[in-house]
Amino acid sequence: MNILIFPEYPYPTNHVVVETVYEQMLPGRGHTVHMIRPAHNLADVEVRSAPWTSGSLRLFPFEPLGSAANNIRRRLHQRRWLKNLLQGLDDVTVDVVLVRNDLLSARAAFLFSQRRRIPLIYQVSSPDAEFRIRLGREAGFRKGFYSIIRGNLDLWRRRRICRQADVVLCISDAMRDHMVKVEQIDPARTFSFPMGFRNGPLAPNDDVAAKLRELGLPKGKTIVYTGVLDAVRKPEFMLGVLERVVRKVPDAVLLVITQQTDERRVQFENQIARRNLNVKVVGPLHHTEVSRYLSCADVMISPCPPIFEYRISSPTKTFEGLGVGLPVIGNEEVEEHARVLRDSGGGIAVPYDVDTFADAIVSVLLSGEQRSDLGRRGRTWVLNHRTYQHLTDYLEAILLNASSRESLAALPHGCN
């Protein structure tokens, strides 16, 4: 197939799906992949030969989000650049178009697919609009007004493109259920397409031992968290858990892996200092390095505040922990997360409560047999169900059948 992808993230990017599925696995299976995406340090559009097997890389200048006025200018610039790049495809064969999240590109992609009479696939990997509305409401009317307005506008745009697209890929089964039951999207063309695990051999024992020494982590007593430190995620929750864990496991350490380098990380590190806790914060890391750091830990903590946005999200970090053989402690209120822990047998789902999280972590840290059993079962499940090879098989079947609603209806609509 000849696939045109709008992957959202600037080129080059540190994103496992974009690099693994779009840039490696699809081209590796003989598909020609053309990409249109932003790039840093460009003054105008630029077309390059694809760094993968076959296709092209079509770039436009990256402009970050900013004030309302800047965002309007950004939209006008991007509209002009996309028109230019799409015109350059006039003599290029394209069989299907895939847009990941990017609402600015989605309209142009839809019009292009209509002109070509080819299917459009729209992928929703995060409820960004809902998060933006929530943050605006929490900030109060005066500070959050723009965020609320923009979030509602993005929600309207997302609903429109989901109804126009031939296929909608949702980040989880829970999001698919919401899209079908609440947003009234056609169930035959609505699929769940979660994140997965980039499988490979586990880090050698010598490498893990060296990393433990480098980070000053105690063997058998390290808890790991990987992810964002945003206020809505309530990162102070895991500090409260650590305070209770060290009452029974005095040498326990929390390793935090994050891509954030902004004020939110500074605030989190200030909380650590005020509470005098033994926490190591590392990152940013390339996604290929994360598993080596995870292998230094003994249990993963993956708490999600039980709000709507997390209930319909993918338990991405849980897959990463299970994939390297780590027991994962998550909360039962987020059903998608709890189901993965139940199905895999690789973790424990508990109520979203500091004490119950701490008790579960202590039980795992103090029982090497339980830790080993949970880790083995979790890794086996992920390797059987959630590698990017499995997900690419699934995506490839959707791509090949995207032009026929009848064919789409006959396909599995989830990865389980």
199-208, 209-218, 276-285, 320-329: range with lowest mean pLDDT? 199-208
Average pLDDT, the chain: 94
Return the axis-axis angle of helices 354-365 and 236-248, rounded to nearest 10°.
Answer: 50
Give tens-digit pLDDT for 366-385.
Answer: 999 999 999 999 999 999 99
Nearest to 221 by CA among 321, 298, 329: 298
Q: How many residues does the chain have?
A: 416
Overall average pLDDT of the 335-350 stretch: 95
d(CA 358, CA 409): 44
Task: Report whether pLDDT(142) > 90.
Answer: no
Q: What pLDDT was estimated at residue 71?
A: 84
In percent, the amount of the chain with pLDDT more than 70 equals: 100
In percent, the amount of the chain with pLDDT more than 90 equals: 88
8 Å CB contact between 99 and 122: yes
Owner of token pair 């309530």: 234
Give tens-digit pLDDT for 355-369.
Answer: 999 999 999 999 999
Neighbours of 215 (CB within 10 A): 14
d(CA 249, CA 234): 24
Give tens-digit pLDDT for 189-199.
Answer: 999 999 999 88
Q: Which residues contact 370 (CB under 8 A, 6 or more apart)?
A: 327, 363, 364
Task: Report whether pLDDT(156) > 80.
Answer: yes
Q: What pLDDT was estimated at residue 66?
A: 80
Q: Given pLDDT bands bounded at 50, 70 and 90, which one contains residue 79?
A: very high
d(CA 339, CA 376): 18
Q: Given pLDDT bands bounded at 50, 70 and 90, which one contains residue 117?
A: very high
Q: Sign of dihedral through CA atoms 236, 239, 244, 245?
A: positive
Q: Do you find a cis peptide bond into 284, omega within 30 degrees of 0?
A: yes
Grouping H, G, I as helix, E, B as strand and the rest as coil, residue 42 is coil
Give tens-digit pLDDT for 289-315.
Answer: 999 999 999 999 999 999 999 999 999
d(CA 254, CA 248): 15
Overall average pLDDT of the 258-266 stretch: 92
Using alpha carbons, list the distances in angstroms from residue 312 to 167, 333, 353. 18, 11, 20
- DSSP state string for 252-288: -EEEEE----SHHHHHHHHHHHHHT--EEEE----TT
Q: Given pLDDT bands bounded at 50, 70 and 90, which one contains residue 416?
A: low
8 Å CB contact between 214 and 222: no
Delineate the domains of the chain, giving CATH numbers in brackets: 2-195+388-409 (3.40.50.2000), 205-385 (3.40.50.2000)
d(CA 254, CA 235): 12
* CA angle (84 as vertex; 80, 88 as ends), nearest 5: 165
Strand order in the sheet with 347-350: 279-282, 253-257, 222-226, 299-302, 328-331, 347-350
